[in-house]
Structure 1
Amino acid sequence: MNQDYIVPNEWSLIEEGFQAEKVKSSESLFSMGNGAMGQRANFEEQYSGATFQGSYIAGVYYPDKTKVGWWKNGYPEYFAKVLNAPNWIGINIEIEGVPLDLYTCKSVKDFRRELNMKEGWHKRSFKAILPNDIEIEVTATRFLSLYLDEVGAIKYNVTPINKNAEVTFIPYVDGGITNEDTNWDDAFWDVYDADTEGNFGYVVSKTNKTEFHVCTGMVSKIFLDEKQQQPTPEINKELLKTSFGYKVTAQKGQTASIEKMGGYVTSLNHQKVNLIEASMKVLQKASGLGFEALLQKQKEAWAAIWQMADITIEGDVKAQQGIRFNIFHLNQTYSGKDARLNIGPKGFTGEKYGGSTYWDTEAYCIPFYMATKDDKVARNLLAYRFNQLEKAMENAEKLGFKNGAALYPMVTMNGEECHNEWEITFEEIHRNGAMVYAIHNYTRYTGDYGYILEMGLEVMIAIARFWYQRANFSSAKNKYVVLGVTGPNEYENNVNNNWYTNYIAKWCLEYAAENIEKVKTDFEKDYNRIIDKTQLAAKEVAQWLDVATNMYFPYSEDHQVFLQQDGFLDKELITVENLPKDQRPINQKWSWDRILRSPYIKQADTLQGFYFFEDRFSKEELKRHFDFYEPFTVHESSLSPCVHSIQAAVLDRMEQAYTFYLRTSRLDLDDYNKEVHEGLHITSMAGTWMSIVEGFGGMRVREGKLTFQPRIPKQWKGFSFKVNFRGQIVKINVTQNGTAFTTDGKNDLTILLNGKETLIKANQ
């Protein structure tokens, strides 16, 4: 059974009723972020039940020393930990001296929380009877400001219901936090200053080893029935923590409130010596505006995001909630403003996986940001990788590669590999292909060939050098082979000739050669500069093409399909429908040995290649491969259902496409993989967007033109989305009766609709 306690709603996540066993899951689902920092939906007041406190700052990490039993040459020195940052949200509440703690209250009723995705705020309300028999009503609202992205704002109301009561608000900032995810229980933070100045309290800390300096600050205002009060605070300064105590007496039915502005300023954006001053300045600005005015700016900022990014679905509330939940979290995680940042697989919702960047960004996220923002945002994501090219060369060199070959990391913060599972670190080399595919995808969509001249070709050359050296000639097969790899399907390690890896290697070599030739012919000055910088010899390109032309692909004549890898047919081929439900998910029920010997596929592998390169295969070939591999796929990677949804739509299997769409869009909401308490699957959320736009919308770019082949599930009355294509905003509205297109650009736009040229007149 999947969880189903989230109330279906088109624009909000709503939870009704307090369930202690759901607290950690809700902390993930109701998380907030603004691109610069993020916060799990922890309670502001103290809570003694099971909880996962999580506050995160974009770009701040700790290199936790790798923990392995047996060190191997080339092993990453560290595993980058996304850091749990000092806690800024804390407001302990005491009623007549008794702490408010929902875990120890005599009763909690009318508990409700809402994450309003349209406007970007989180609200929690409840009535509680404390151990001293005082009943109170509480409403707490908070958001992370898009207008001032170093600030979060909280409005916390307490109303005594059955008697007058002294209410004590104790806002604090606390540097004494630890990570859930740590190898050696090292201290990640060193707090070196904690103090107050007027109503401003702060903690200044730095990360050990990486030396990121952070000032966590707060300012507060107290109100009675919305009239500001001036109670004299009790100031408490500890080694790692600063707090104020504000006491006010509220009559029965009177509301006591605190407005708290808090957040982070960091040495990424400020001089270390100015952090305290910068924190005070931005928080006083926020406090001067006040909670309501800052909230209004939040609503306006989210309205602008939704204006472009929204996807509407008519007639299916769960499907609508799912896609908006995905789009909301993608925009919370990455704004595109800072080229030093990227899209971590958990975003700001948890610590699992470490690192900030996987191949997910290139394979899944770039299409979303490219089509819903402008070219600059996607270009920043590509520039992020170009800026780490030297590190990628160092990574390859550690493994014995030469001549400027590059191996991009599986997991990274700064370009260095920092993943500590050897079968992934050394073997999941297909990630290199995603780097080049993203350049191809970006250029095809935007028409910006300038990126290839400025940065992209250098990346392609370094990656082609890697693939050339990684393949070796098999005399027995009279072909080039790629041995000892792990494909996207991580349930097969150390296999030979993974079809997807071999295919993307071949494609990368050909694509690099093709672009070298184009630059040589059309951009001589750039060509000379790049050849000089990379020291590329003419014979190298000929050698690459020899490998590409003679690459080996395992194939089964009996099944008429490419084999996922050489030994796939040696397995006991029992399909998923014959796997008992109590054995799922197998990654939580089975030994790794048993998984590796099974035919079960964690995520689209061969089909991932068919998705990337669909123009190179016929519909009949796709059908054969889909029918062969899908029955063995357990979809225990969040990145799997979206690819299957798109391909089922291509094959006009709309019921299957719809089922896979619901699975990808509600993966976390319905907790399919029983792990939502650890955080959300942010990067796969971009796959959800693709499953509508590329799957049901049938959108592709071919020869510089947008093409569409719309299809609609029978469960929907209609759906619509917008894309920004080369500076023109195109809106697509699909119903059961047909499809309408509008553009608000200044020029007419010719598209291909179901293979026929169609003209969309400007502003019509």
Structure 2
Amino acid sequence: MNLDYIKPDNWSIIEEGFNADNVKSSESIFSIGNGAMGQRANFEEQYSGPTFQGSYIAGVYYPDKTRVGWWKNGYPEYFAKVLNAPSWIGINVLVNKEPLDLFTCKEVKNFRRELNMKEGWLSRSFEATLPNNIQVEVSTKRFLSLDLDEVGAIKYQVKPLNSDAEITFQPYLDSGITNEDTNWDDKFWDTLQITIEGEKAFIEAKTMKTEFYTCTFMESSVFVNNEKQDQKPEIKRESNAIAFHYTVHVAAGETASIHKFGGYTVDRKLERSQLVSAAKNVLETVIEHGFTTLLEKQKEAWSKIWEMSDITIDGDVKAQQGIRFNIFQLNQTYLGKDSTLNIGPKGFTGEKYGGSTYWDTEAYCIPFYMATKNENVARNLLKYRYNHLEKAIENAEKLGFKNGAALYPMVTMNGEECHNEWEITFEEIHRNGAIAFAIFNYYRYTGDFSYIPEMGLEVLIGIARFWQQRATFSEARNKYVILGVTGPNEYENNINNNWYTNYLAKWCIDYALENIEKVKEGYHDDYLRVSGKTKITDKELQEWQKVADNMYFPYSEKHQIYLQQDGFLDKELITVADLPQEDRPINQKWSWDRILRSPYIKQADTLQGFYFFEDHFSIEELKRHFDFYEPFTVHESSLSPCVHSIQAAKLDQMEQAYTFYLRTSRLDLDDYNKEVEEGLHITSMAGTWMSIVEGFGGMRVKEDMLNFEPRIPKEWQAYSFKVNFREQILKVNVSQKETTFELEGDTDLDIVVNNKQITISPNNLIKV
């Protein structure tokens, strides 16, 4: 496969020339979504070549029974799978009764696919010679509406070039859908009813086990040379599918087209009895608007998103395309409207990882949403975890923890743990700390303390209880240790005293204690409610403090660094630079045994702690740790390059910072990990945003003020970004010569630039 087939462009993702080997990768890269649903960029017409079909509805999943060789106590019973939903995009096309299929065409030329990120639509155009020698010119455009998020729209045009032709369009709905990713080949969907009303069709279906009820719907209109045809379709009905057949005759050079509207109504938002009527209502609205008006509204909606979230880069088209692709996909995946939803690692682009919630949200995504939306969006992400607190307590109870200790799941859809690799499910417990850190990060950035007495304190108490119980007192060390864990570096399993985990545990306990006191002093009614509910006692808090004050941290006097874990220096310390290229990536070339014994680090581990708690360490300590650990890091996690880019920029190692930035921003566009056909790396895309804003822009929040230490790669002429800080929108523009700040609104804002405080007045450009 050609990994460099995406054309550089500031605002679009463009593919030119048809190559069947690229189809599955492009289906991922050109995916579209609107926060409520999404789909891979599958062709509307039939395609008999290798393809990964996928349409997904937010929050709809199936509990696929865990498949393991033997069972362990506390093991999750299922792995939650995001479900390939009933398909509404399909339009079979026949030319003189010959199916249009790019895999079987005699020739395909002038193929062009474009994902227009500025306006939020996907298009495709090509000329094809069918097996019956008819030559046609085809163009399609489709989008998922941001305004009416139950619905998407398709405009599909066919022009015969060398002959008059009979064109047949067969728009259809299909609920006989299977998943690419399944443990037992279960049937996931049960078709309940198919109904037709004029040129509208509806399939009501429900998921097995979880019983999500959905209605998949469509309505179509056919045109010749833009004139609507009053043709009644022939109807073809099967047990799991419904299709309309329209046939029109056009002369060579004339255009036949179909406008198809479709989508989903779901009982997550509506009564089951209302699904069909709600679908009819939304179809009436979109038919009244028509394709063109709906597309204009789409452009307006995306314009508002870009107004706040765009990052511009001058002088480096690939870097510009990369960051916009990341921002675009994040907004397609999650818009913050629904606190019952979260951000799956693949979003709506594939099924790997089950489409569920990971610690990625708290560690990487919340900063992006806080700064480019408003605090309510980030608050919804925190509310999501509060709503799952009882399940987190249940998860801990299954592993033997007591008294309201909470262990948040590694992977979840509804708060239950559903990850089924034991070394991660039971041992990668640092995820608990990321949730506490997100609460701290939210308050630090927004200044909104109210979340903590209302919801957050209960979460912090549950997490602190877990860490206090998870620590073991070592008489040999006269310290508390944490045994049998996996840190962020998943290339080490079942190790003792992962520094990042131990440090996080101590910090979580201290932070919980600090906030118990703050709520007790300032929010007495909330304190009485929370303390009554959690039954915390002074004796228990003293036990927490004892663990926090006496936590063990592995340290090397020789290297003057914290050790990633007790046995790290026992390894054969051969750096990545001395690793043969043919051994890369090691997760695809080496046995797991060999990986576990190696010094190689999948992603930031000790350095993840230095990223979270930068203020706890000096710049000299950061440099020592970065220079020691980065040479052993293979960056085989999508979450790795962004943290390293931020820290390299902090250390003014700009060549490294720029290289890591390109790696994170073009991870999928250039398919660094050789797996893009499985779907995109959505949650790591927020890390790309952080690489610019926190890395090159040097943005931090200290003592309730924004701080900046701007830097710029030599490859760029300038870059700019906006942040919404406490309802004040600040635009930052960094060039090779100077940095400018511009404030929207009507109130002054004090910021710190390169350790010097300055005051920004609204609509008054300040140069530094």
Distance between the aligned counterparts of 2:755 and 2:447, measured in 1?
A: 21
1:167 partnered with 2:167: yes
Distance between the aligned counterparts of 1:409 and 1:434, measured in 2?
A: 12
Distance between the aligned counterparts of 1:648 and 1:688, measured in 2?
A: 14
Give the total of aligned pairs.
764
In structure 2, the residue matched to 1:315 is 315
1:259-298 matched pairs, under 5 angstroms? 259-298=259-298
In structure 1, the residue matched to 2:438 is 438
Q: Give CA-to-partner distance per residue, 1:455-496, whole Å, 9 cap, x none.
A: 011100000000000001001111100000000000000000
Check conservation: 1:57, 1:83, Cα contact below 8 A. Answer: yes
In structure 1, the residue matched to 2:35 is 35
Check conservation: 1:391, 1:416, Cα contact below 8 A. Answer: yes
Q: Give CA-to-partner distance per residue, 1:563-599, whole Å, 9 cap, x none.
A: 1001111111111111111111111111111111111
In structure 1, the residue matched to 2:146 is 146
Distance between the aligned counterparts of 2:288 and 2:571, measured in 1?
A: 67
Partner amino acid for 1:324? R
Q: 1:524: Cα distance to partner? A: 2.0
In structure 1, the residue matched to 2:473 is 473
Partner amino acid for 2:18? F
Distance between the aligned counterparts of 1:58 and 1:192, measured in 2?
A: 21
In structure 2, the residue matched to 1:66 is 66
Where 1:354 maps in the other structure, the secondary structure is helix
Q: 1:560: Cα distance to partner? A: 1.1
In structure 2, the residue matched to 1:604 is 604
In structure 2, the residue matched to 1:388 is 388
1:2/1:227 CA distance change after superposition, 3 Å: closer
Where 1:644 maps in the other structure, the secondary structure is helix
In structure 1, the residue matched to 2:741 is 741
Check conservation: 2:312, 2:320, Cα contact below 8 A. Answer: yes
Distance between the aligned counterparts of 1:96 and 1:395, measured in 2?
A: 60
Q: Give CA-to-partner distance per residue, 1:370-426, whole Å, 9 cap, x none.
A: 000011000000000000000000000000000000000000000000001111100
Q: After the TM superposition, which of the residue ranges 194-203 and 378-387 deviates more from structure 2?
A: 194-203
Distance between the aligned counterparts of 2:169 and 2:559, measured in 1?
A: 69
In structure 1, the residue matched to 2:216 is 216
Check conservation: 1:195, 1:237, Cα contact below 8 A. Answer: no
Q: 1:195: Cα distance to partner? A: 2.8
With the length of structure 2 as denominator, give the TM-score of the two structures: 0.99
Check conservation: 2:2, 2:22, Cα contact below 8 A. Answer: no
Distance between the aligned counterparts of 1:441 and 1:605, measured in 2?
A: 19
Check conservation: 1:646, 1:691, Cα contact below 8 A. Answer: yes
1:165-244 matched pairs, under 5 angstroms? 165-244=165-244
Check conservation: 1:2, 1:670, Cα contact below 8 A. Answer: no
Check conservation: 2:126, 2:139, Cα contact below 8 A. Answer: yes
In structure 1, the residue matched to 2:306 is 306
In structure 1, the residue matched to 2:751 is 751
Distance between the aligned counterparts of 1:368 and 1:150, measured in 2?
A: 25
Distance between the aligned counterparts of 1:148 and 1:581, measured in 2?
A: 49
Check conservation: 2:108, 2:128, Cα contact below 8 A. Answer: yes
Distance between the aligned counterparts of 2:588 and 2:151, measured in 1?
A: 39
Distance between the aligned counterparts of 1:287 and 1:18, measured in 2?
A: 33
Q: Give CA-to-partner distance per residue, 1:642-682, whole Å, 9 cap, x none.
A: 00000000000001000000000000000000000000000
In structure 2, the residue matched to 1:504 is 504
Check conservation: 2:347, 2:355, Cα contact below 8 A. Answer: no
1:672/1:571 CA distance change after superposition, 3 Å: same
Distance between the aligned counterparts of 1:2 and 1:502, measured in 2?
A: 44
Distance between the aligned counterparts of 1:384 and 1:64, measured in 2?
A: 23
Unaligned stretches of 5+ in structure 2?
A: none
1:604-753 matched pairs, under 5 angstroms? 604-753=604-753
In structure 2, the residue matched to 1:580 is 580
Moved over 3 A (4+): none
1:90-109 matched pairs, under 5 angstroms? 90-109=90-109
In structure 1, the residue matched to 2:533 is 533
Q: 1:549: Cα distance to partner? A: 1.1
Q: After the TM superposition, which of the residue ranges 301-310 and 186-195 deviates more from structure 2?
A: 186-195
Check conservation: 1:106, 1:128, Cα contact below 8 A. Answer: yes
Check conservation: 1:355, 1:418, Cα contact below 8 A. Answer: no
Q: 1:638: Cα distance to partner? A: 0.2
Q: 1:521: Cα distance to partner? A: 2.0
In structure 1, the residue matched to 2:350 is 350
Q: 1:546: Cα distance to partner? A: 1.0
Where 1:194 maps in the other structure, the secondary structure is strand
Percent of aligned positions with the same letter in both sequences? 73
Q: Give CA-to-partner distance per residue, 1:230-282, whole Å, 9 cap, x none.
A: 12211011100000000000110000000000000011111111211211221
Q: 1:557: Cα distance to partner? A: 1.1
Partner amino acid for 2:340? R
Where 2:707 maps in the other structure, the secondary structure is strand
In structure 1, the residue matched to 2:413 is 413
Q: After the TM superposition, which of the residue ranges 536-545 and 332-341 deviates more from structure 2?
A: 536-545
Q: Give CA-to-partner distance per residue, 1:486-516, whole Å, 9 cap, x none.
A: 0000000000000100000010000011111
1:524 partnered with 2:515: no
1:543/1:447 CA distance change after superposition, 3 Å: same
Unaligned stretches of 5+ in structure 1?
A: none
Where 1:484 maps in the other structure, the secondary structure is coil
In structure 1, the residue matched to 2:88 is 88
Where 2:258 maps in the other structure, the secondary structure is strand
Distance between the aligned counterparts of 1:51 and 1:666, measured in 2?
A: 23
Where 1:143 maps in the other structure, the secondary structure is strand
In structure 1, the residue matched to 2:248 is 248
In structure 2, the residue matched to 1:23 is 23
Q: Give CA-to-partner distance per residue, 1:102-128, whole Å, 9 cap, x none.
A: 000000000000000000000000000
Check conservation: 1:79, 1:355, Cα contact below 8 A. Answer: no
Check conservation: 1:2, 1:672, Cα contact below 8 A. Answer: no
Q: After the TM superposition, which of the residue ranges 277-286 and 103-112 deviates more from structure 2?
A: 277-286
In structure 2, the residue matched to 1:76 is 76
Distance between the aligned counterparts of 1:755 and 1:545, measured in 2?
A: 34
Where 2:352 maps in the other structure, the secondary structure is coil
Q: 1:27: Cα distance to partner? A: 0.2
1:560-571 matched pairs, under 5 angstroms? 560-571=560-571
Partner amino acid for 1:632? F
Distance between the aligned counterparts of 1:442 and 1:253, measured in 2?
A: 59
Q: 1:2: Cα distance to partner? A: 7.8
With the length of structure 1 as denominator, give the TM-score of the two structures: 0.99
Check conservation: 1:698, 1:707, Cα contact below 8 A. Answer: yes
1:319-338 matched pairs, under 5 angstroms? 319-338=319-338
Distance between the aligned counterparts of 1:448 and 1:541, measured in 2?
A: 25
Check conservation: 1:194, 1:238, Cα contact below 8 A. Answer: no
Partner amino acid for 1:185? D
Check conservation: 2:29, 2:680, Cα contact below 8 A. Answer: yes
Check conservation: 2:505, 2:548, Cα contact below 8 A. Answer: yes
Q: 1:447: Cα distance to partner? A: 0.3
1:55 partnered with 2:66: no
Check conservation: 1:352, 1:678, Cα contact below 8 A. Answer: yes
Distance between the aligned counterparts of 1:431 and 1:717, measured in 2?
A: 39
